[in-house]
Amino acid sequence: MHDRDIRQCLRRELALKSPRGTVIVDEVGICQGAVRIDVAAVNESFYGYELKSAADSMKRLDNQVGVYSKVLDYASVVVSQNHLVGATEKVRSWWGIYLVVEREEALDVETVREPSLNGSLEVRALAELLWHEETLKLLEERGALRGVKSKPRRFAWDRLVEVYSLDEIREAVRKRSGAVGRRFCGSSSLSMD
């Protein structure tokens, strides 16, 4: 069982169970490219899935958990049997855990633990999910564009978190990223329309 097999199985499950309008995307870079979410699903919430096939290493999982936890409403790890115990020990209590099992020449995803809502999103990390032009437009809407328009994007993100609340930035990311499949370069996306 390889990463691509788990990915196909998970995408199939998400396509069946996700609400209409959900966008499913592979390889979403977050936190300025610090990590990539293996599979993301975006609707009113931002879901992320880290895949660990039998051949994968668990070395990067601690870092991935920390970074995913900054921006995802719901996070889950999807593992093969040999990584179940290690993943359970490494992920946070609100993370979901799914086990991929082989059944008669097909893979199936079993729920070990459902994810809960992340209560510790980081507003600046969320702001970084917006493109520079999107950030400038939001600042313009609040009359807060002065002094940041021609500066590097980090200044615009800093100003954004000064004038918008966490919930407002979260909503802006979801709305403007209903385009998530189109906005993250190099991603393959599937919209549940």
Query: Alpha carbon of 67 to those of 64, 85, 118: distances in Å?
Result: 5, 21, 12
Q: Which two tokens stand for residue 155?
A: 């200044």
The rounded distance, in Å, linking the Cα atoms of 15 and 22 is 9
Which pLDDT score is estimated for 69?
Answer: 93
Q: Which two tokens stand for residue 151?
A: 């500066």
pTM (2 decimals)?
A: 0.83
The rounded distance, in Å, linking the Cα atoms of 97 and 79 is 8
Domain CATH code at residue 82: 3.40.1350
Is 193 a domain residue? Answer: no
Residue 168 identity (one-letter amino acid): E
Note whether 174 and 168 are within 8 A (CB).
no
Q: Do 43 and 108 share a structural domain?
A: yes
Is 54 a domain residue? Answer: yes
Q: Do 167 and 88 share a structural domain?
A: no
Q: Do 107 and 13 share a structural domain?
A: yes
Residue 2 identity (one-letter amino acid): H
Which pLDDT score is estimated for 31?
Answer: 74
The rounded distance, in Å, linking the Cα atoms of 31 and 100 is 28
- Reading the chain (193 residues) residue by residue, the pLDDT tens digits are 778 888 888 998 898 888 887 888 888 777 766 788 889 888 888 899 999 988 888 888 888 999 999 999 999 999 989 999 999 999 999 999 999 988 877 888 899 999 999 999 999 999 988 888 889 999 999 999 998 988 988 999 999 999 999 999 988 888 765 544 444 433 444 444 4
Note whether 68 and 75 are within 8 A (CB).
yes
Is 90 a domain residue? Answer: yes
Residue with tokens 């500066």: 151
Is 187 a domain residue? Answer: no
Q: Which two tokens stand for residue 44?
A: 């009113």
Q: Do 82 and 169 share a structural domain?
A: no
The rounded distance, in Å, linking the Cα atoms of 125 and 170 is 10
Q: Each residue of 47-74: b (16+ CB within 10 Å) or e?
A: bbbbbbbeebebeebeebbebbbbbbbb
